[in-house]
Amino acid sequence: MPTTVPGHPEDTVPAHTEDAADRRAALADVTATDAALRRFLHGLPGVDAVGLQERAAALGTRSVKTTAKAYAIDLAVSMIDLTTLEGADTPGKVRALCAKGANPDPTDRSVPRVAAICVYPDMVATAKDALAGTGIKVASVATAFPAGRAALPVKLADVAAAVAAGADEVDMVIDRGAFLAGRYLAVFEEIRQVREACARADGTAAHLKVIFETGELETYDNVRRASWLAMLAGADFIKTSTGKVAVNATPPVTLLMLQAVRDFRATTGVQVGVKPAGGIRTTKDAIRYLVLVGETAGEDWLTPEWFRFGASSLLNDLLMQRQKLRTGRYSGPDYVTVD
């Protein structure tokens, strides 16, 4: 099992260690052929959709107040991948976002830093320079994000460029068309090759987050299959969404993915992180997800090493709610910057 020590995500021993590789190798027969992989994925227990939704709804009613709420807010801030993924992104906008991630509230230095800043590959060098010395990771989307409609060599070049520019983490998108057509081994091989492209010259590797775009996967059973497929292929994180489609992260889907990483660790000894992304905008939303993590996967996942929020606007609401707890009043939306 990967070892973690207190502190920032850089203190994590990555999931791609020799021990983890050996454990994954024990499942090599599962991925030896397309037929074997299909048998395994379709042999996973079917998802009780009603039960899953009811469980997610019930956990969403948990009340978290006062001291526990203050702790949850700070934890959520520390788990954010603060994101800008727009065609109009500029170096100035990226530097401003990095400054906000490093010092979310200039009036209160006790606010934690965010976990990462997530940008397009061409902005990685700018973010890396702006975040020097902060300990904040630079994450880069790649593989022809968000649609993933490109030839594999193009996708691998996209990843290699991001890593060469200094990306600490790579967020790839799976080929949903191939997955929905049942071409599971093709998806597996693409993830595996992207993982190899995350390698650096010094022998280390950028962490790989695999995005499913769950809003396009049609069924909960497909989400479970995609989760296991990505983990078998070597994902360090599994991620719900790009944030670029109508349906992004939802509590039931995230609950299902948390069950998958819990069961995968029980089977292989390998711990994999989870990242819901898209549509998580309020403190209430964030706390609901933290309850899902604690009640489903367990406390081992309640750290930035193993759980992230992909968000662009969540941080502002967390800061306003934090200020309300601290002072007893809201300062209004002008208390935070508009990104």
Place of tokens 């899953």: 52
d(CA 100, CA 311): 13
Contacts with 225 (C-beta within 8 Å, 6 or more apart), sequence order: 41, 42, 44, 184
Angle at 245 between CA 43 and CA 40, to 5 degrees: 10
257 closest CA partner among 241, 244, 234 = 241
Residues with a catalytic annotation lie at 171, 239, 275
Per the DSSP assignment, residues forming a β-bridge with 275 are: 239
d(CA 291, CA 289): 5
SS3 323: helix
Contacts with 133 (C-beta within 8 Å, 6 or more apart), sequence order: none
d(CA 313, CA 330): 17
Angle at 239 between CA 277 and CA 253, to 5 degrees: 80
Distances (CA, A) of 224 to 12, 124, 253, 262: 26, 32, 9, 12
The single-letter code of the amino acid at 281 is R
d(CA 148, CA 173): 6
